[in-house]
Structure 1
Amino acid sequence: MPAVRGNFMEDMGLQLRSLLGVFAFVAIAWALGPRKMPPWVLILGAVIVQFAIAFALYSFAPTRAFLASLTGVVEVLQAATTMGTSFVFGYVGGGESPFLINPDANASTFIFAFQALPMVIVLSAISALLWRWRVLEFAVRGFALMFRRILNLSGAASLGAAANIFLGMTESPVLIRPRLPTMSRSDLFLIMTVGFSTVAGSVMAIYVSQLTGVVADAAGHILTASLISVPAAVLLARLMHPQDETEEQASKEKVPVNLYHSSMDALTTGVSDGVRLFVNIIAMLLVFTAIVALINFSLAAAGEINGAPMSVERVLGWFFAPLVWLAGIPWAEAQTAGSIMGLKTALNEIFAYDALSNTGDELSARSRLIMTYAVCGFANFSSVGILIGGLIAVAPSRRADILSLAPRALISGTLATLMTGAVIGALPGGLFGL
């Protein structure tokens, strides 16, 4: 009984720290802004929305069943994609190997670029079709209405923010292209922050494949993370860059959306967009892996510190350890979790999820769940260039504003995902089957 009580008190202490961490991240964002009078209504509203959505999704049997079924959907999509990759790439893409595999060899026959990443192209095409058939548009407009009323956003800002739940940070601004030239700097900063704190539907399946066996019902958690990070991003964006009354307000009228002229146009455009994303991911993984290796070689030459060689992971772990501790990670695990958060920021979330899947017993089940949410976002240095290029392409007149706001949006986006991780940490572990 004393041991059970001790574990209960320890869990309660971690939940309380996560709850305090939610407001600590709010305070950090406020300190990084002009430090005006805090918008208490928005703060409470955004925090309550985050907790309400997470609690509702995992408290009711129908929603839990829906989220649990998403992993099965991803598996079906992966099987269908494998049929395509096997036909196009043969055994390299997952088809039957013409060679005998040595079971004693310490090597994997899984080729990430040809067996996992092609799903990005398939999902990009499917997402475009679902938008053309108004399935995604209906869902986006529903969330946009909720955000507009609860978080007091303009029509364009709410639509752009809601679109980021399903679309990428460069695709969603296309929906509000007519409003971007006259959108206030505050709303523009908000759109960029939401883009950094969420992920696109086209890459969710990649994360799910990486987290298989690490987090139960990974697909449901990835979708939930992208959803509940929006209120956090809106709040932190408003704290770091409040709406200026002298700025021209974006129209609250309905924003027209017409991305594709036909289903065939949607399909071919989705494939083209997916191919660009596919090539971009491969290039980034190749280059950044090489750069990290070079840096690690250089750091290792400097000698060992505390019995271990210096590395990018260790340095980033020291920097992010206090932040993940605020999110509810025990200090004994903060170095490991901090390095994962650092990899996500310096490189991208694919590196981070790969590191998370290889932590073994270094992180508890609760810590792995928190980090699944904290890592789920596009806030990294390479994405800054991608977002800048995408926004300038659709709103060239806002080039100066986009360039000046992007670095700060990276900070607010990172804080938003950490805040989302803290929200999950503050909820009872039993809610998630822990």
Structure 2
Amino acid sequence: MGILLGLLAIIIALAIAYAMSNDRKNVNFTGVGIMLLAQVLTTWFMFMTPIGEAIINFISDVFNKLIEFGSEGVAFVLGGLTVEENASVFFFNVLLIIIFFSTILSVLTYLKVLPFIIKYIGWGISKITGLPKVESFNAVNSMFFGQSEAIIAIKSQFRHLNNNRLYIVSASAMGSVSASIIGAYIQMLPAQYVLVAIPLNMFSSLIIASIIAPVNVPKEDDEVDVKNVSDANSFFEAMGNGALDGGKIALIVASMLIAFIASLELVNWVISSIFAGTTLQEILGYVLAPIGFLMGIAPGELIQAGGIMGTKIITNEFVAMIELESVMGEFSDKTVGVVSVFLTSFANFSSIGIIAGTVQGIDSEKGASVSKFGMKLLIGATLGSILSATMAGLFL
């Protein structure tokens, strides 16, 4: 029964995307089918096979070891700061680790390790699915870098991007997560769900976006240039740039958390004053309960889980992850898995401004186009999150 409900959720997500399509006649259904199959195989392999589980455990161990290294750096700088025993300071224990992960990414980019991996995985996806190289490259690139960085990496190809191609590029950026903050995520959520969400989201973003905005690109306009992806002139400059970028990200996330959590409390105070005891999370829970049920969330957990998913859409994934972390013991394993995968993406209102602002800095005309289809972008990215979470739920 659960599998049938999950398949229905996938069909509904695809149907909504098709209803929103700019050009239904030219949807690449073959590519969509191939990517759906790739999602099924990826999830089955990672969740249901000993080799897949071993790979997840290995990657998780690597991230945990990196977190230990990062914690040493944080402890050196903040070693004199005393905190109550067993207390957890989110900024120190989670956000500052981003600095170390950002440094590693910057060094791997300078050494041309990541560009090589990204280019040829993107090339393979393009060959298999028939999607253009730029869009395929950007989807893979978005698994490693943040929304702004992923878009900036293809700025030399912007002159070739019409509105449909621009939508796909933006959707991949919004539907992904940055590798620099994965370390922060797996300190709050089970690592296996965060790690499986990364490839699932890449395919989901391409599936939904290629239905909403089908493309047909001439070969001469379909080239990817990754020769100069790093601004650093030396290994140590790359380390310094990565550390500074990580520090900025940590401060930005901390500022957004303060603003969003405080605003959420204000909204809840207003709502509870009008409707005694009601919160925004409960309202969102009722709104998302039907699709949550189809995704595989247990009936008794629908309202609370739906509220957490809704919180992510209107604020950001960190706010929602903090909420999920605090109630994880009350949920079944399947609900934790489904909701964790749903939360592991940048699909929220604030991302519209981030992506539009980044594109505006590259090309003002295309930036205006992104602003115009901003809500369509958010709906598409949310459908991608539903697709990824449902796919994971089929194997939990």
**TM-score in terms of structure 1 length:** 0.85
User: What's 1:345 paired with?
Assistant: 313
Q: Find out whether 1:293 has 2:242 as its counterpart.
A: no
Q: Which has the larger radius of gyration?
A: 1
Alignment of 1:299-310 (within 5 A): 299-304=271-276, 309-310=277-278
Q: RMSD of aligned C-alpha atoms?
A: 2.1
Distance in 2 (alpha carbons) for counterparts of 1:348 and 1:396: 26
Give 2:7's aligned amino acid: L
Number of positions where the alignment pairs a residue of Structure 1 with one of Structure 2: 393
User: What's 1:319 paired with?
Assistant: 287
- Greater mean alpha carbon deviation, residues 326-335 or residues 348-357: 326-335
User: What's 1:115 paired with?
Assistant: 93
Judge conservation of contact 2:289–2:303 (CA < 8 Å) in 1. Answer: yes
Decide which of 404, 407, 417 is 2:375's aligned counterpart. 407
Q: Secondary structure at the match of 2:346?
A: coil
Q: Secondary structure at the match of 2:188?
A: helix
Q: Find out whether 1:47 has 2:17 as its counterpart.
A: no
Q: Secondary structure at the match of 1:418?
A: helix
Structure 1, unpaired ranges of 5+: 1-12, 430-434
Q: Find out whether 1:179 has 2:142 as its counterpart.
A: no
Q: CA offset at residue 35 of structure 1?
A: 6.7
User: What's 2:114 paired with?
Assistant: 136
Distance in 1 (alpha carbons) for counterparts of 2:43 and 2:103: 29
Decide which of 92, 113, 125 is 2:103's aligned counterpart. 125
Report percent identity of matched pairs. 23
Deviation string 1:216-235 (CA, Å, 9 cap, x unpaired) is xx1x4322211121221112
Alignment of 1:211-250 (within 5 A): 211=189, 215=190, 218=191, 220-243=192-215
Decide which of 65, 68, 83 is 2:72's aligned counterpart. 83
Q: Find out whether 1:32 has 2:23 as its counterpart.
A: no
Decide which of 358, 364, 367 is 2:332's aligned counterpart. 364
Judge conservation of contact 1:155–1:255 (CA < 8 Å) in 2. Answer: no
Q: CA offset at residue 151 of structure 1?
A: 2.3
Judge conservation of contact 2:46–2:55 (CA < 8 Å) in 1. Answer: no
Q: Secondary structure at the match of 1:191?
A: helix
Give 1:253's aligned amino acid: E
Q: 1:58 to 1:426 in 2, by over 3 A?
A: closer
Q: CA offset at residue 288 of structure 1?
A: 0.8
Q: 1:172 to 1:257 in 2, by over 3 A?
A: farther
Deviation string 1:69-120 (CA, Å, 9 cap, x unpaired) is 222222222222222222212244xxxx4x8x5x7xxxx6221112211111
- Greater mean alpha carbon deviation, residues 404-413 or residues 199-208: 404-413
Distance in 2 (alpha carbons) for counterparts of 1:303 and 1:252: 55
Q: Find out whether 1:330 has 2:319 as its counterpart.
A: no
Give 1:89's aligned amino acid: L
Judge conservation of contact 1:156–1:251 (CA < 8 Å) in 2. Answer: no
Distance in 2 (alpha carbons) for counterparts of 1:159 and 1:353: 29
Distance in 2 (alpha carbons) for counterparts of 1:250 and 1:342: 42
- Greater mean alpha carbon deviation, residues 59-68 or residues 152-161: 59-68
Structure 2, unpaired ranges of 5+: none
User: What's 1:276 paired with?
Assistant: 248
Q: CA offset at residue 254 of structure 1?
A: 3.7
Give 2:127's aligned amino acid: R
Judge conservation of contact 2:23–2:214 (CA < 8 Å) in 1. Answer: no
- Greater mean alpha carbon deviation, residues 318-327 or residues 191-200: 318-327
Give 2:173's aligned amino acid: G
Q: CA offset at residue 291 of structure 1?
A: 0.5
**TM-score in terms of structure 2 length:** 0.93
Q: CA offset at residue 249 of structure 1?
A: 7.6
Q: 1:114 to 1:191 in 2, by over 3 A?
A: same
Q: CA offset at residue 59 of structure 1?
A: 4.3
Q: CA offset at residue 49 of structure 1?
A: 1.2
Q: Secondary structure at the match of 2:351?
A: helix
User: What's 2:10 paired with?
Assistant: 22
Deviation string 1:51-72 (CA, Å, 9 cap, x unpaired) is 1122233444344212112222
- Greater mean alpha carbon deviation, residues 252-261 or residues 136-145: 252-261
Give 1:126's aligned amino acid: I
Q: CA offset at residue 418 of structure 1?
A: 0.8
User: What's 2:385 paired with?
Assistant: 417
Give 1:141's aligned amino acid: K
Deviation string 1:359-395 (CA, Å, 9 cap, x unpaired) is 2454211111111111110011112212222222233
Judge conservation of contact 1:318–1:335 (CA < 8 Å) in 2. Answer: yes
Judge conservation of contact 1:22–1:419 (CA < 8 Å) in 2. Answer: yes
Give 1:332's aligned amino acid: G
Give 1:257's aligned amino acid: K
- Greater mean alpha carbon deviation, residues 200-209 or residues 28-37: 28-37
Q: CA offset at residue 399 of structure 1?
A: 2.0
